Each structure stands twice: as C-alpha cells, then as structure tokens.
Amino acid sequence: MPKCSVAGINFGWDLEKGKFLFEGDDAVLFWISSAMKTFFDTIEEISGEESSNLVFETTGFRQGLVVGQYFEKMKEVSVTEAAEMITATYATAGWGLTTIKDLDFNSKTLTAHMKDSWEHKINVAQGKTAGGSFLPAHYAGVFTGLFGTNIWYKVTQHQLEGHEYSMIEYFPSDITISDNIHQLARKKEAQKIQELEALVEEKTKELKGLVDRLSSPIIPVLEGIVVVPLIGKYDEDRSEQLIVRTLNNLPQYQANYLILDLTGIDEEICEHTASLLERIGRAASLIGTETILVGISAELGISITQSAINLSHFNCFQTLQHGIHFAFSQMGRSIV
C-alpha cells in the first residue's frame, strides 16, 4: 500500500479497497472549485442563503468541538501546543494556512488569521462578496473544546474583501449554536405568521367586498317598486354603505316605493340596524320614495318591541308579497 509522510502527517492509499487514509483513518478528497462548490451551491439552493449559512456555521462548530474535546483529553499537550498541532494538521489536509495569535488561556481569547482556506476558495468560485461561516465557527468549536467553556467569534475582516487574510477574534460568550438555530426558527416563524396575516387580511378584504356586493342588493320587482333584502347584522360601516348605495340607485329605477325585506336580518336587532331603518326611510322620503317594511317575524317583532324601537311610521307587512300588493294598490294598480 503506497504511503508517505508530510510534516509528520501520514498519508496512505489502499488501491485495492479504494481507500485514502489520513493518519490511518478513512478520508476523502474533493475538488474545491468544482465538486465542493456544487455541494455548497446545492445546499444554498434548497435551504436558502440564510438557512444554509446557519447549517454551515452549526456543522463547522460541532465538528470543531469534537476535535477540541479530543485534544483536551491529551493532558500532556497544552492548549497552545494543541492549537499548533491542529492548524498544522489542517494545513496538510488542504484547509489553508491558519495562524493563531494572542492566545490567552486566562481570558480564553485569541485571534486567528486564515489565508487561502478551502472555504475562501469556494466562496471565490461562487462569486460571493462576503466570506463564509464554516471555518470561523469551526475554530470556535475547537477552542470551546480546548478551553472547556463556550467560545464564539467575530470576523473583523474577510480575505474575500481584498485583505491578505481573514481575521477572526474569539472570546467567551453566552451565544450558542442552539440559540442561533432557535432564533432563525423564530424569525422564520414570525415571517410566516406575517405572510399568513397579510394573506388573511387580503382575503378578508376580498370577502368583505364580495359580501358588500352580494348583500342587500337593489331588486326592481315591478315598475316603481324596488326591494332591498337586509341580511345579517349591520354595523356602522355596513349601514352607511347600504344607505349610500340604495339612495344613489333609487332615482334610476324611478321608485315610488322602497320595500325593505327583513326576513334575513338578525333576530337580535341592534341599534345600528334600527338607526339604519330610520335613516334610510327618512332619506328615501326626501327623494319622493316611501319605505315599506316586510318580513317581520314574530321573533323579530318581539326583539323590536323589547328594544323600544318605534317603527309605527312605517307600513309593515308579514310577507314580501303583501308589501308588493300594498305598494301596487297605492299606485292605483293591481296585479292580475
């Protein structure tokens, strides 16, 4: 089996089994600007840029944490020595050149300079203008494992922005990967709720417009007689719309009689409905149209009586047929 050693790191190839070995463990090689770029592009295409960035960041941190915890168990190796061993090992594996600066075990802070990393090369191939989050988060995981405390990062410059290298500061923090995942989930949930609320509002407006058009239409039944059926409950806005629509349309029908059919109205008549009857009757009379009420059931009659609403100045009939016959007879005509 072919083997070689580079900077103290052992590589091997078992060609019969199709295996590549890195320090005795199975490894795999990919082309950065083609195969790995396609892998990253696909994740972003499926998940969206914001979600995929969190995926890369989370994966990088958790993989780094495994590495850091492994070296932390090597009690004979200091954090500084472990950091040098890790960065040297990563360099032989094609991860780019990372240099650790100002490592302070007491404050658990450090700065990393990353140059020509595989993530940077992928971002260049993708045409990105901002660097990725996998490797910055990866080293946060590494030092979380080495220090035994949660470490997070801040990118102060990206090589992709034209700098010689990326510079990342690391420090103890309460920020965790789980918090970031939950924050994104809540953000997406809030966005979805806003989208649903906007959709509901839009559909409500459409439905309200449809109801306004369909409810209380003006129906010319005979020459000089129109019928307006009242349906449901009338609040202030709906009452105003009905009055305006009815009065605007009465002249074109040359209506002598306006019959308000209360058959479909709520039995528990409210003040807006009572006011509507009063106002539409007065307004219609101003243009020479007399208002007749029909369809007053026993239940509605009781409700009107209990509400102390006075409808005595209206001609009232139990059925629409009776109201039409009355209006026709008042005009000196009869239905044959």
In Å, what is the CA distance from 187 to each residue of 43, 49, 50?
20, 14, 11
CA distances from 89 to 8, 95, 196, 230 (A): 9, 9, 50, 83
User: Distance between CA 68 and CA 82 in Å, rounded?
Assistant: 8
Query: In what order do the strands lie in the sheet containing 225-232?
Result: 219-222, 225-232, 257-265, 290-294, 315-317
Task: Calculate the average pLDDT of the chain.
Answer: 84
Q: For the residues 246-260, what does the mean pLDDT come to?
A: 87
Distance (Å) of CA 186 to CA 61, 133, 182, 183, 313: 21, 21, 6, 5, 61
| Average confidence (pLDDT) over 252-258 | 89
Question: What tokens does 50 get?
Answer: 């914001």
221 or 234, which is more confident: 221
Q: Please give the pLDDT value at position 9.
A: 81
Q: How far apart are CA 168 and CA 158, in angstroms?
A: 9
pLDDT recorded at residue 292: 93
Among 158-162, 260-264, 289-293, the range scoring the smallest mean pLDDT is: 260-264
pLDDT grade, residue 283 (50/70/90)? confident
Is the Cβ–Cβ distance between 268 and 299 less than 8 Å? no
Query: According to DSSP H, which parts of the chain are helical?
Result: 37-47, 49-72, 79-92, 118-126, 134-147, 177-214, 236-253, 271-286, 298-306, 320-330
| More confident call, 115 vs 20 | 115
What pLDDT is recorded for position 122? 94
State pLDDT tens for residues 190-226.
666 676 667 767 776 766 665 565 556 788 888 889 9
User: In angstroms, rounded to a whole number, what is the distance separating the alpha carbons of residues 114 and 140?
Assistant: 13
> Does the model's pTM come out above 0.75?
no
Q: What is the DSSP letter of 288?
A: T
Residue 271 pLDDT > 70: no
Q: Say whether pLDDT at 144 is over 90.
A: yes
What does DSSP assign to residue 29? -
Nearest one of 249, 322, 315 to 284, comparing CA atoms: 249
Q: Is the pLDDT of residue 129 over 90?
A: no
Q: Which residue has the higher pLDDT, 204 or 321?
A: 321
Residue 187 backbone phi and psi in degrees, to 5:
-65, -45
Which whole number is the average pLDDT over 148-159?
A: 93
Averaged over 248-271, what is the pLDDT?
Answer: 82
